[in-house]
């Protein structure tokens, strides 16, 4: 179904990602989300023989993500960018600041009256551009934009998960449970023992 709105956005700091498993902190609400854009990047290499394309390999590079928010607190900005808060208020940005790996969790509204839930599992926010525009006769709200680069988890190769509440396998309590923790979905196996193709 078509997406007709974006309802909520959360982030959760990634605390471990290795062969033995993956763990996250409790998700934190990012108030006032306007938009999220998710753009996967892939590379395709073709082999030619007998005057035509003979084979090709497509590999996953990374995912470019951008979010627009009406507001971002000083604490959230410092947390997302690895910066420090100042005793006098505000955020201190230094050359050596290192953004933590995070997951992004969101829920969007669909045209059939349902909701689509999504998780991006591992990425880092980039330094945002700061700008301000003077009023020109009327007041215009200016949103806060941030970009990020996301990648697959080392643990299982997952980079994204999404599910509609209209999906027959979707948990009945997803509306109340989804943002409590980062869900790592389990691959479904069909009755004949083969993996179900999505």
d(CA 118, CA 101): 17
What's the pLDDT at 145? 85
pLDDT tens figures, 136-189:
655 455 567 889 999 999 999 999 999 999 999 999 999 999 999 999 999 988
**198: pLDDT strictly greater than 50:** no
Q: What is the dihedral of CA 132, 134, 138, 142, to 10 degrees?
A: 0
**Mean per-residue pLDDT, 61-72:** 87
Q: By percentage, how much of the chain surpasses pLDDT 90?
A: 55
Q: Tokens in use for 7?
A: 């309802």
**Domain extent listing, the chain:** 3-177
pTM above threshold 0.85: no
pLDDT digits (tens, 9 = 90+) for 109-135: 988 888 999 999 999 998 876 655 555
Q: What is the pLDDT of residue 129?
A: 67
Contacts of 76 (CB under 8 A, 6+ apart): 28, 30
How many CB atoms are located within 10 Å of the residue 123 CB? 23
């Amino acid at each position: 179904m078509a997406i007709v709105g974006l309802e909520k956005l959360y982030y959760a700091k990634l605390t471990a990602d290795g062969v033995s498993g993956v763990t996250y902190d409790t998700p934190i609400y990012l108030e006032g989300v306007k938009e999220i854009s998710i753009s996967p990047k892939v590379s395709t290499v073709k082999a030619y023989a007998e005057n035509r394309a003979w084979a090709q390999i497509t590999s996953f590079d990374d995912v470019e993500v951008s979010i627009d928010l009406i507001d971002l607190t000083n604490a959230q900005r410092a947390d997302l960018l690895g910066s420090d808060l100042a005793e006098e208020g505000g955020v201190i940005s230094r050359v050596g600041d290192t953004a933590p790996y995070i997951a992004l969790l969101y829920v969007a509204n669909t045209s059939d009256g349902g909701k689509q839930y999504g998780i991006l599992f591992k990425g880092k926010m980039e330094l945002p551009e700061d700008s301000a525009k003077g009023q020109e006769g009327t007041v215009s709200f200016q949103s806060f934009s941030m970009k990020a680069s996301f990648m697959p988890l080392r643990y299982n190769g997952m980079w994204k998960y999404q599910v509609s509440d209209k999906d027959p396998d979707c948990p009945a309590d997803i509306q109340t449970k989804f943002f409590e923790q980062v869900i790592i979905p389990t691959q479904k196996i069909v009755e004949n023992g083969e993996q179900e193709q999505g």
